């Protein structure tokens, strides 16, 4: 059974503070700065070197765990996705627990067994607090894949490519000075992500959406990239007005396309795609 369809009008942009929970890990290595100073001043090179090395390792570990949290957050937002390839949270936890062991043994002068215990406790605490990295891919249900003739790899690759184009649109939109155009592009990007979410809910929409995604996203990305680079040279020109007209058409057309997908109306979807393609060519921006 596929998920219930939800319109983008029912969706709201959300911001996820990815990696926010890792900030305490960046504070831990700071404790070793006085240890390094004391070791350096007293001429205890073992303590000084261990403290310095553990400080650096601690920052690397914190950065790794932060990336792992971000990757997990992105993975959790998707219904069809590959699990993160690199176990960043586990790697960072092992590094940090190793630094706990080294500091306990070489700086604090504890016994080997007590130092091993300190490292093990640190590792257990980190894994309990941050968890393990996702390892299982989210794949298309077998019954859906069999009926629609879909492969998980194909769907993920298509959605990833679409997401990259939307990200490029958002990046170039930030370079545009006109507030009206920036707001319009923000709505276009949001609606595009709504289509991706819809395909994730029902992968059978991929084939019906592919032509639209290619025309819409590639055309929009090309237009926005070109305009962002040339806006200062063409302010108030025909190109400027053409760009505004195209964005208006894209936004209006996309809203219609989302409804076509919602209604499972493939014939009208193709008609609207052709309208968008003709408009892009007519305005001379593709």
The Cα–Cα gap between 153 and 83 comes to: 12
Instruction: Specify whether the backbone of 182 is left (phi greater than 0), alpha (psi in -120 to 50) or beta.
Output: alpha
The average pLDDT across 134-156 equals: 74
CA distances from 44 to 58, 107, 281 (A): 21, 10, 73
- Give 214's pLDDT tier (boundaries 50, 70, 90): confident
- pLDDT digits 0-9 by tens, 170-211: 998 888 888 888 888 888 888 888 888 878 887 877 777 777
- pLDDT digits 0-9 by tens, 129-142: 999 999 988 877 66
The average pLDDT across 155-169 equals: 86
Which comes out higher in pLDDT, residue 77 or 54?
54
The average pLDDT across 12-37 equals: 71
- Give 278's pLDDT tier (boundaries 50, 70, 90): low
The average pLDDT across 238-246 equals: 74
pTM (whole model) above 0.75: no
Q: Does 15 have pLDDT greater than 50?
A: no
Task: Please state the three-class secondary structure of 90-126 as a single string.
Answer: HHHHHHHHHHHHHHHHHHCCCCHHHHHHHHHHHHHHH
- Give 19's pLDDT tier (boundaries 50, 70, 90): very low
DSSP 8-state code for residue 177: -
Which comes out higher in pLDDT, residue 153 or 31?
31
Q: Does 154 have pLDDT greater than 70?
A: yes
Q: What is the pLDDT of residue 77?
A: 84
Q: What is the pLDDT of residue 16?
A: 36
The Cα–Cα gap between 126 and 159 comes to: 33
Q: Does 63 have pLDDT greater than 90?
A: yes
Q: What is the pLDDT of residue 265?
A: 59
Q: What is the pLDDT of residue 188?
A: 87
- pLDDT digits 0-9 by tens, 68-117: 999 999 888 888 888 898 999 999 999 999 999 999 999 999 999 999 99
DSSP 8-state code for residue 138: B
Which comes out higher in pLDDT, residue 281 or 60?
60
């Amino acid at each position: 059974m596929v998920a219930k369809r939800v319109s983008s009008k029912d969706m709201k942009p959300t911001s996820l503070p990815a990696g926010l929970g890792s900030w305490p890990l960046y504070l831990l290595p700071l404790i070793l700065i006085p240890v390094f100073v004391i070791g350096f001043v007293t001429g205890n090179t073992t303590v000084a070197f261990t403290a310095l090395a553990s400080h650096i390792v601690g920052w690397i570990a914190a950065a790794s765990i932060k990336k792992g949290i971000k990757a997990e957050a992105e993975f959790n937002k998707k219904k069809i996705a590959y699990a993160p390839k690199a176990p960043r949270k586990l790697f960072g936890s092992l590094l940090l627990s190793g630094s706990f062991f080294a500091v306990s043994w070489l700086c604090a002068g504890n016994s080997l067994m007590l130092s091993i215990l300190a490292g093990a406790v640190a590792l257990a605490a980190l894994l309990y607090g941050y968890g393990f990295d996702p390892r299982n891919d989210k794949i298309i249900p077998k019954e859906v894949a069999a009926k629609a003739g879909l492969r998980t790899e194909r769907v993920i690759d298509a959605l990833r490519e679409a997401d990259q184009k939307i990200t490029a649109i958002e990046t170039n939109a930030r370079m545009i000075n006109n507030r009206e155009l920036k707001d319009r592009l923000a709505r276009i990007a949001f609606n595009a992500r709504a289509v991706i979410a819809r395909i994730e809910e029902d992968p059978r929409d991929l084939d019906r959406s592919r032509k639209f995604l290619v025309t819409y996203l590639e055309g929009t990305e090309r237009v926005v990239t070109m305009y962002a680079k040339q806006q200062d040279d063409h302010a108030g020109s025909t190109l400027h007005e053409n760009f505004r007209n195209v964005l208006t058409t894209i936004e209006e057309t996309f809203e219609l396309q989302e409804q076509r997908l919602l209604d499972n109306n493939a014939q009208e979807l193709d008609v609207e795609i052709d309208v968008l393609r003709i408009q892009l060519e007519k305005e001379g921006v593709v």
